[in-house]
C-alpha cells in the first residue's frame, strides 16, 4: 500500500514539474515574441520602506516591478530620475506595477526622510517602496544583484550611481528589449525615450501575462 502511495505521489510530482516547465517555456516564448529578453534573476532583498515597514522582494511576487537606485539629497541626476519614475507610476493609474527605489545613502535616508521625499515628489502608489537599510546590503543589491553601478561618498556630491532602471517580470526575471539585435539590459532613467521604452515594455509584459 505504501509503495502504491509513493508511486502515485511520484507521478503527481512529475506531472506538476512538467506542467510548470511547460508553462515557463510558454511564457518565455511569449516574451521573445514581444521582443523581450531575460537578463537574469532579480536579487533577493529585505529592507525598510518609507512607512517604516519591512519590505522584501517576495512581496512583489506575481507582480511586474521596476527598480532604481537614488538618494534624497542627490544634487544631480536623482531629481530627473524621480520625475521620470513618477511618470511611470502615473502611466498605470490602477497601481498594477510595483516600484522599488533603493537609497544609496541609507544613513541619511531614514524612513521619515523617505516619507517626506515621497510626499514632495508625488509618490502615491501603494506599491512604490522607497527603501533603506544596511549600507553594505544595499550596495550588494545594486552592484552584484542588479549589476547597476553605485558607490558611496562622504558628501552628496561624492556619491556615484547609475541612472538606469531595471524591469522585473512576474516571475522575478530582469527583462529588457533588444535594440539592433542586442539586449539593452536596462532602461535609461534620464531620458524620455528610455522611459517611453520602459512603459511600452511593461505593457507588453502585461499582455504576455494575460
Q: Terminal CA-to-CA distance of the chain, rounded, Å?
A: 43
**Euclidean distance between CA atoms 5 and 60, whole angstroms:** 36
12 is in an annotated binding site: no
pLDDT, one tens digit per residue, over 74-116 is 999 999 999 999 999 999 999 999 999 999 999 999 999 999 9
The C-alpha cell of 86 is what? 513618477
58 is in an annotated binding site: no
State which H helix or E strand residue 41 sits in.
strand 36-41
pLDDT of residue 209: 72
Q: Burial-class residue 81 by CB neighbours within 10 Å (0-12, 13-18, 19+).
A: buried
CATH class name, domain 36-207: alpha beta
pLDDT interval class at 208 (50, 70, 90)? confident
pLDDT interval class at 35 (50, 70, 90)? confident
Q: In whole numbers, what is the pLDDT of the chain averaged over residues?
A: 89
- Output the pTM of the full model: 0.85
Place of cell 543589491: 141
State which H helix or E strand residue 101 sits in.
strand 98-103
56 is in an annotated binding site: no
The C-alpha cell of 102 is what? 533603493
Give the number of residues written for the chain. Answer: 210
Report domain extents, the chain. Answer: 1-32, 36-207
Amino acid at each position: 500500500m505504501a509503495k502504491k502511495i509513493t508511486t502515485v505521489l511520484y507521478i503527481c510530482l512529475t506531472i506538476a514539474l512538467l506542467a510548470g516547465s511547460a508553462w515557463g517555456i510558454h511564457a518565455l516564448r511569449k516574451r521573445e515574441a514581444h521582443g523581450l529578453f531575460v537578463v537574469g534573476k532579480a536579487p533577493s532583498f529585505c529592507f525598510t520602506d518609507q512607512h517604516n515597514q519591512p519590505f522584501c522582494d517576495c512581496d512583489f511576487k506575481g507582480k511586474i516591478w521596476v527598480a532604481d537606485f537614488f538618494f534624497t539629497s542627490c544634487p544631480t541626476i536623482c531629481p530627473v530620475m524621480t520625475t521620470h519614475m513618477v511618470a511611470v507610476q502615473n502611466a498605470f493609474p490602477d497601481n498594477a506595477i510595483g516600484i522599488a527605489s533603493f537609497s544609496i545613502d541609507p544613513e541619511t535616508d531614514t524612513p521619515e526622510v523617505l516619507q517626506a521625499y515621497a510626499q514632495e515628489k508625488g509618490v502615491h502608489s501603494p506599491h512604490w517602496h522607497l527603501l533603506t537599510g544596511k549600507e553594505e546590503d544595499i550596495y550588494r543589491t545594486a552592484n552584484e544583484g542588479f549589476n547597476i553601478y553605485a558607490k558611496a561618498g562622504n558628501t552628496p556630491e561624492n556619491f556615484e550611481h547609475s541612472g538606469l532602471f531595471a524591469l522585473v517580470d512576474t516571475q522575478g526575471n530582469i527583462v529588457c528589449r533588444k535594440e539592433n539585435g542586442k539586449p539593452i539590459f536596462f532602461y535609461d532613467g534620464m531620458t524620455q525615450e528610455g522611459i517611453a521604452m520602459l512603459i511600452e515594455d511593461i505593457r507588453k509584459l502585461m499582455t504576455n501575462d494575460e
